[in-house]
Structure 1
Amino acid sequence: MRTLYQFPLSHYCEKARWLLDHKELDFTAHNLIPGIHRAFTQLKTGQNKLPILKDGDKWIADSTQIALYLDDTYPEHALLRSDAQLREKALEIDSMANELGLHVRRWGLALTLSISDEPIEIMIGEKGYLRQFEKFSKPILKSLISKNYQLDAEKVAESKKQMDIIINQLNQYLIKNDCRYFVGDRLGLADIAVCSMLAPLLELNGTPWENDTSEIQSEEFLAYKNNFLSLPLGQYVQRIYATERNARVDWRGM
């Protein structure tokens, strides 16, 4: 059985889950504890980041590397086209999406944590030591997140600027391809990467960022969300999730 080691809230882990789902491959999503995860990831892959896929005796780190591995090992439902130019374009868009994800994460977390501990609640999970000792684990996790993701005002403001730039570039890419898919005429790596990185901005149902209408959200976030939905790119992300995100495994993991 394949195992995907993840943080449930991570949009890079959402990307990896989607890649596996697109390939129609069975897997288990296994959650690691932020911070403590580093000893495990260093031991298995020599680096600190998630997602990590274990497939038999192979360990693959990084969502893009997972995509390349899956196409090489399981060629059915290809993520990248065989045409060299289309493949290069897809990898270029994937790289843009990966950079965008860093800024979406920083900006989104900063706004959300300023009014709610919901991200911390999801990270702690429903049971286990973190939940048992949540009085202590919640402030520690919040401090770790703020430090590791550099949620200071200057960094957050810069991420907002970079989000605007990359979203505009991706919006133009999409328009040039008639707003259907980023590369070619069907879903591929570029689409999955872009949609995964932008999903937190739309709080889509069935995703880790789903927001019950009773929850409070900042006015700044809501204004950005509404503006994003006015763009072809925002409407595209919403459409792709509604029509092509056929999740086979619960994002909450175990």
Structure 2
Amino acid sequence: MLELYQFELSQYSEKARLILDYKQLEYRKIEVTPGVGQIELMQKSGSRQVPVLKDGSTYVSDSTEIALYLERKYPERPIIPTDSLAKGQCLLIEEWADASIGLKGRKAFIGALNQNQNFRTSILPANTPDIVKTAVGAIPGELLDVLGTGVGFGGDAVKEAKKSLTQDLEALCLILQNQPYLTGDSPTLADLAVAGLSILLKFPAGSYLDIPDPLKGKGIPGLADNITFEPFFAWRDRLYADFRQGSSIPSSNSSSSSPTSINIE
């Protein structure tokens, strides 16, 4: 069976999961413990970043490389068009989504955690002691903003990320007005990448992710609850309903210690 080394809340891991589900491939999720688990992953695969796919003795890192590997090794239910124009559009959108929705979405998500106490505490595992939840919620957003500035997650950087994502979502809504998928009448890697990478903007409402129930259907204030972007999220949810499997796929931890859910990448 294929094995996917992942973080449950990593949008790049979700991109890989969605591709695996679309191709109807059976796989096992292995939750990597941030820190020690990444060292173990580095020893096995040569990469400390998730996702990493294991197929027999072959390890493939990076969500795009995983997609291309699966397309070569398991060509049934193809995700890359053969038509030259559609193929070019597909690959271009996939690369853009990695850099824009993926990276900027993560920045905006961390910004929302910093500034919204309820959102910050709701992301913690369900078994987190109340005293820890209270302590995490009590951290001033201004302090988190200052701390984030030094690593590119300060208030100004978050505002720029949300501004860019607003334009991206508007563009996606326009593209999808008159066609069912981003490059035409059939789903491709472009659709699976955009949909999977968007989970941090607004979590799917179904049982696709191992997250607390109150988080399902919720997301970044100003994006997830903006009626202008409802057509995009409705499209994303239809794609999930058609192709994404539930969270019953077996999983395990890569280390004996429990993973820290709040670490994203």
TM-score by length of 2: 0.75
| Unaligned 5+ runs, structure 1 | none
Aligned partners of 1:174 and 1:182 also within 8 Å: yes
Give the Cα–Cα distance (whole angstroms) in 2 for the partners of residues 2 and 213 of structure 1: 29
Counterpart check, 1:237 vs 2:236:
yes
1:70–1:148 distance in 2 versus 1, CA, 3 Å? farther
- Are positions 1:21 and 2:21 aligned together? yes
TM-aligned CA distance change 1:240 to 1:53, over 3 Å: same
Identity of aligned residues (%): 27
Deviation at 1:25, TM superposition (A): 1.2
SS class of match (1:203): coil
Instruction: Name the residue aligned to 1:104.
Output: 105
For the residues of structure 1 that align with 2:212 and 2:191, how far apart are their CA atoms?
A: 20
Aligned-pair Cα RMSD in Å: 3.4
Partner of 2:262: none
Check 1:251–1:89 CA distance in 2 against 1; reply closer, same or farther (3 A cut).
farther
Aligned to 1:246: 245
Instruction: Kindly indicate whether the alpha-carbon contact (under 8 Å) linking 1:204 and 1:211 is maintained by their aligned counterparts in 2.
Output: no
What pairs with 1:77-116 in structure 2 (closer than 5 Å)?
A: 77-99=77-99, 100-113=101-114, 114-115=116-117, 116=120
Q: What does the per-residue CA deviation read over 1:16-70, in whole Å, with 9 as the maximum and x for residues that have no partner?
A: 1111111111111000112334323433443332100000111101111111100
Unaligned runs of 5+ in 2: 254-265
Deviation at 1:229, TM superposition (A): 5.6
Which of 54-63 and 202-211 deviates more? 202-211
- Count residues in correspondence: 236
AA at the equivalent of 1:54: K
User: After the TM superposition, which residues 1-254 of structure 1 pair with which residues of structure 2 at under 5 Å, given as runs?
Assistant: 1-99=1-99, 100-113=101-114, 114-115=116-117, 116-121=120-125, 150-175=152-177, 178-205=178-205, 206-208=207-209, 211-212=213-214, 221-227=220-226, 230-247=229-246, 249-250=248-249, 254=253
> Judging changes above 3 Å, is the alpha-carbon distance between structure 1 residues 45 and 155 closer, same or farther for their aligned structure 2 residues?
farther
Q: In structure 2, how many angstroms separate the alpha carbons of the residues matched to 1:47 and 1:90?
A: 26
| Residues in 2 aligned to 1:112 and 1:251: alpha-carbon distance in whole angstroms | 29
2:112 and 2:96 map into 1 onto residues whose CA distance is 23
Instruction: State the distance in 2 between where 1:67 and 1:214 align.
Output: 26
1:170 Cα shift?
Answer: 2.6
Counterpart code for 2:125: E
Structure with the bigger percentage of helix: 1
